[in-house]
A = this chain, B = another copy of it.
Amino acid sequence: MHAERFYTLSASCPDRVGIISRVAGFIAEHQGWILESSYHSDPGEGSGSRYFMRIEVKADSLPFPLAEFRQRLAPIAEELQMDWTLSDSAVKKRVVVMVSQQEHCLYDLLARWQSKELDIEIPCVISNHETLRGFVEWHGIPFRHVPVPADNREAAHAEIRRLFEEAQGDTMVLARYMQIISPELCAAHPGQIINIHHSFLPSFVGARPYHQAYQRGVKLIGATCHYVTAELDQGPIIEQDVIRIDHSDSVLDMVRYGKDIEKAVLARGLRYHIENRVLTHGNKTVVFR
Residues of A near any B CB (own CB < 8 A): 17-18, 20-22, 24-25, 27-29, 31-43, 52, 61, 102-104, 107-108, 110-112, 114-115, 117, 134-135, 138, 200-204, 216-220, 222, 236-242, 246-248, 250, 256, 259-260, 264, 267, 281, 283-287, 289
The interface residues of chain A, by DSSP majority, are classed as mixed
Q: What separation, in Å, do the CA atoms of A2 and B146 have in the docked complex?
A: 35
Known A107-B110, A115-B104; judge A200-B203 contact (CB<8 A): yes
Please pick, from B35, B202, B240, the residue contacting A220 in the complex, using a CB distance under 8 A.
Answer: B240
Residues from chain B with Cβ under 8 Å of A236 in the complex: 217
Known A17-B28, A21-B21, A248-B40; judge A117-B256 contact (CB<8 A): yes
Q: What separation, in Å, do the CA atoms of A38 and B36 have in the docked complex?
A: 10
Known A240-B220, A287-B247; judge A25-B21 contact (CB<8 A): yes
Say yes or no: A37 contacts B39, CB within 8 Å: yes
Q: What separation, in Å, do the CA atoms of A56 and B259 have in the docked complex?
A: 25
Q: What separation, in Å, do the CA atoms of A204 and B200 have in the docked complex?
A: 12
